[in-house]
Structure 1
Amino acid sequence: MADVHDTATRSRNMAAIRGKDTKPELRIRRALHSLGFRYRLHARDLPGKPDLVFPRYGAVVFINGCFWHQHDCHLFRWPGTRVDFWQEKIGKNVASDERNIKALEALGWRIAIVWECALKGRTRLPDNQPVQLLAEWLSSAEKRLTIRGN
C-alpha cells in the first residue's frame, strides 16, 4: 500500500512543476516588457519552444532551471533515490537542449540562455543585471548569450 501512496504523491509533486510561466520567467518577461521589448511566448513552431521569441531581433531566450537542465552550479544536485531514472530523464533534457539550439542556429536565430542561478540562490546577480544584459544583447549583433550566477 505504501508504494501506491508514494507513487501517487510523486506524481502529484511532478505535476506541480511548471514548464512555463515560472517565477524566473515571469520576472524576466515583466522587466523586458517594461523596457519596451515585445515578444512571443513559447512558440510551438520553433525547436525547443523558446520561452521568449523576439522576431524583430531574430532572437530567442530560454530561461532554464538548473536542476532540469543539469547546470554546473550549486542549484544542481543529483537526487539520492531513483538515480537511474533521474540520469535518464535529465540526460534526455540536455540532449534535447543541444539539438534544439543547433536547429535554431541553423534557422538563423540568435540564442540566449538565462540560468536559474543568475536569478536566485547564493550566486544570483544583482536584481537588474540579468535583464540589462539581455536588453544589451538584444540590441547587439552577438549570436549567443549565457547568463549564469557568479
Structure 2
Amino acid sequence: MQSTVVVLAAILGVALSACGSGWTQSGNKCFKLISRPNTWSALNTACTYEPLQPRTKQSEVSNRSIRLQYSRPIVITLFRAGLAAGREIYIGGLSYQRGPWSWSDLSPFGAYRNWAAGSEPAPTAARPCIKMNPSGQWFNNCCRTPPAAGVCSKSA
C-alpha cells in the first residue's frame, strides 16, 4: 500500500511539473502570468527567458480565446489577475513596421476583433501594440508606456 502511494505521488509530481515552476497547465498548453507591468520588449524577454512565447495566435490567446480555449478557468483567472495588477494587459497583437495587425508570431488576425472604439485603428509607429482594458476591449498603444501585464504561453 505504501509503495502504491509513493509511486502515485511520483507520477502526480511528474504530471504537475510538466510545465515547470510557476506555470499552470491547461490541456496541452502552459500559462504564466507576468503581473509586474512591463514594456512589450521586457515581457517578450521575460517570456523567452523562461523559455516560453508570449501570447501568440488568436486561437491561443486573445479575448476570443477567452471564449474559446481561454474559457479555461485558469486562463481567465490569469487574465483577470493581470488586469487587476496592471489595469491593462498585452494580448500579443501588434503591427510590425506599420503593417497590418497580426499576432506576435506574425500570424494574421482571424475574423474576431474587439476594438474599444468599435472600429479598428490604423497601425501607427507610435502605437503599434495591442492591449486589453478591464472591460475586455482592445486598444492600440505605445509598446513602452504605460507598462502592462501579460500572459505567456508555451506547449506542455
Q: TM-score category by the smaller chain?
A: 0.3 to 0.5
Which structure has the higher relative contact order (CA within 8 Å, separation 6+)? 2
TM-score under structure 1 normalisation?
A: 0.32
TM-score under structure 2 normalisation?
A: 0.31
Higher normalized strand content (fraction of residues):
2
Higher normalized helix content (fraction of residues):
1
